[in-house]
Chains A and B, each alone.
Chain A
């Protein structure tokens, strides 16, 4: 091992704090850039609202059917808006070669993964938090049930965990934008089913014992896929 008496010594010590620093730097960078341009959030939001509007006409949501269909509509909306965000977030890195910039840094690749994933999660949650009151107002339903908020969190985590991994792949192919939904949706079905059922459960006031298996499924999915994505991310970005 060589002795280096330069500025460069510091990062070979304390790898754990290095990891956290890199991860937060990435999250911070994404948030700062988004605050400036608001490009991601505005497109996700507009898209989400349009989807809800279309559903209104497509499904003729009268007061009776609405209660059973609300969670489905919400999650379809979140899933579609989510893919938009995931795509754009990765495309921003790829286009200006910034992905290389991230890879050149002496940080663990998984720090990059978690940084991007957390950023994506924050964006998705922001959109969801805005969509909820809008939907509530448009359809005169109260959506601010604590259980629902929990489900939204758990579901988004699972969706973003896999989505960040798959969008890292999709962005490096020729068919980029089209490919992400094709890759993501079949694999995200357990999350969507569980999230919809659990959301319905909370909204309709069904007893906890019936909702609980869905929550377990969500948590299992989150844990399994976050672990897998984190382990496998290296292979997706390293040549």
Chain B
């Protein structure tokens, strides 16, 4: 579903990603871990088609980036730590707008489904400005799922959420994972990632330093695994 080969990303003279290889099978839920500045957000932006690779190949759902970006975008949903929502519009209006941009068929019905999924049906006619951060994040997920993407990318989705909101987000993410979408999620929060992911990759010094399947590792050993991975490279 996602294939990345020898990905290099440079900003001017600085190289952030150094020949990164990455492969995700359909239905996998990959937690991408790594210290600050490792390049997680850069990598995710490239996958999201918001940034171009300097060198290397990226393909999502069989379509290459950046050449076939439009096809990729139709099949991709992105949730970043910024809400990507218009505060002066209601949840309904936000969804309707994005629905039109993605040419979602049977839009009204789909909107209802999605609002149900993220538990915001009751407040759909409220301005997003009035939503709490947690609610905005949930709506953002709804927005990302509106066009039924095959791949969903989450960039630090728990940022700025309190305990209760984080728990609610957990619930939504579990549902999303259950629906069979392919997911890549970057996170600082090892504990939460541990619960949800089927695979853990560690990004360090511009490459994937280590990768392990959920089934292969004892969750208690995850922290040690992580620490070792970031020292290694």
Q: Touching in the complex, A and B, CB below 8 A?
A: yes
A7-B105, A105-B73 known; A100-B86 Cβ under 8 A:
no
- Inter-chain contact A97/B148, CB cutoff 8 Å: no
Whether A97 contacts B84 in the complex (CB less than 8 A), given A29-B89, A106-B70, comes out as: yes
Any chain A CB within 8 A of the CB of B147? yes
A239: chain B residues at CB < 8 Å are 45, 50-52
Question: What is the predominant secondary structure among interface residues of chain B facing chain A?
Answer: loop
Given A7-B105, A96-B82, A100-B84, A238:B52 Cβ within 8 A: yes
Are A104 and B82 closer than 8 Å at their CB atoms? Answer: no
Interface pair A8/B101, CB less than 8 Å apart: no
Tell me whether B98 is interfacial, beta carbon within 8 Å.
Answer: yes
A96 pairs with B148, CB closer than 8 A: no
Interchain CB contact under 8 A, A6 and B50:
no
- Bitwise, B116-157 to A at CB < 8 A (1) or not (0) is 000000000001000000000000000100011110000000
In-complex Cβ contact of A104 among B50, B86, B100 (8 A): B50
Contacts of A98 in B (CB 8 A): 84-86
> 1/0 per residue B6-26: CB within 8 Å of A?
000000000000000000000
Given contacts A8-B148, A104-B49, A104-B76, contact A29 B86 (CB under 8 A): yes
Interface residues on A, range: 20 to 34
CB distance from A29 to the nearest CB of B (A): 5
- Name the residue among A10, A105, A106 with the largest chain B CB count within 10 angstroms: A106
Nearest A residue (CB) for B99: A25
Shortest CB-to-CB span from B122 to chain A, Å, is 21
- Neighbour of A106 across the interface among B82, B102, B143, CB < 8 A: B102
Question: Closest B-chain residue to A102, C-beta based?
Answer: B101
Q: How far is the CA of A29 from the CA of B100 in the complex (A)?
A: 11
A-B contact pairs, 20 of them (CB 8 A): A2-B61, A7-B104, A7-B148, A10-B103, A11-B102, A12-B70, A12-B71, A29-B89, A29-B97, A33-B89, A36-B127, A92-B86, A96-B82, A96-B86, A97-B80, A100-B78, A102-B101, A103-B50, A105-B101, A106-B102
Q: Rank and list the top 6 A-B pairs by shortest CB-CB distance, nearest first.
A: A97-B82, A101-B84, A105-B101, A106-B73, A239-B51, A25-B100
Instruction: Please give the residue numbers on chain A whose beta carbons come within 8 Å of chain B beta carbons, in ascending order.
Output: 1-2, 4, 6-8, 10-12, 18, 21-22, 25, 28-29, 32-34, 36-37, 92, 96-98, 100-107, 238-239
